[in-house]
Amino acid sequence: MIYTVTVNPSIDYIVQLKELTLGEVNRMDYDNKLPGGKGINVSRILRELGHDSVALGFLGGKTGEIVREALEHDGLKTDFTPIAQDTRINVKIHAQQETEINGRGPHVSDAEVASFKEQLSHLTADDTVIFAGSLAPNLDSGFYFDLIKMIRQQEAQFVIDTTGESLLKTLPEHPLLVKPNNYELADLFHTTFNGLDDIVAAGRKLLTMGAQHVLVSMAGDGGLMITPDKVYRSLAPKGTVINSVGAGDSMIGGFVGTFAATNDPLEAFRYGLACGSATAFSEDLATRAKIDEILPQIEISEYK
């Protein structure tokens, strides 16, 4: 089973208006309320692809009930840990510019953390846990690392969507997938790249440090998958970028879901690219129809 973990989920209140004028009353043209969180996004993409997952994390109060009910209404399996404080609300304003006002999120007690950890105490080698998104305000990065060690002791796989030193700390535990973009990869090693050969060399370094698969997204230049033996490249499919939010989550969902079903990293790479691009070309996360539309455009070639 694939488990996604969203520690600090939200209701995303999306507001659209032609122009936002500060200090005046503004009237919106459109609004919507959606369950938010990077792990939740991954679960939504897995559902579109027909892969089972269970969405885990913390939910509390009336806002938490709204998130859970919305996910279950959409057919997602959930097993969130209940907490005393309310799940946060994020406001996403689409006007002349996109503006976000994100809530801090609830305090999670020691007892609530212990209850959550119990949910992950029965994993097997057939399971994969995906950590994505910000932590609740009172939790530090040690929260993820404690869970990762517990997961690996049970021989389950894990993916954590993070960058910088936080990413480097996970590598000795052999994450199934790491997914930096080319800029994040350069920052990771405090360097600049002068071409694809430099990117490949840095990606291979991540493999030697413990990563099992390395994907490097390069926006309009496509993406790379770096393995110990070979490097594969795909150019970006054609389309108009409408919304980059969730594209990375979609790429993870496409890769992990396909890899879990096929154990074929090349096919997983193809679906990861298609899902990421399909979301970028959509107003919300990609639908299966949009993913299927993009898939024929994904041409993967071996890069020396």
CA-to-CA distance for 94 and 132, rounded, in angstroms?
A: 24
187 as an active site residue: the answer is: no
User: 249, 264, 284, 292: which one is catalytic?
Assistant: 249
Kindly list the distances between the CA atom of residue 263 and the CA atoms of 176, 253, 259, in Å, as whole numbers in the listed order.
12, 14, 5
State the catalytic residues: 249
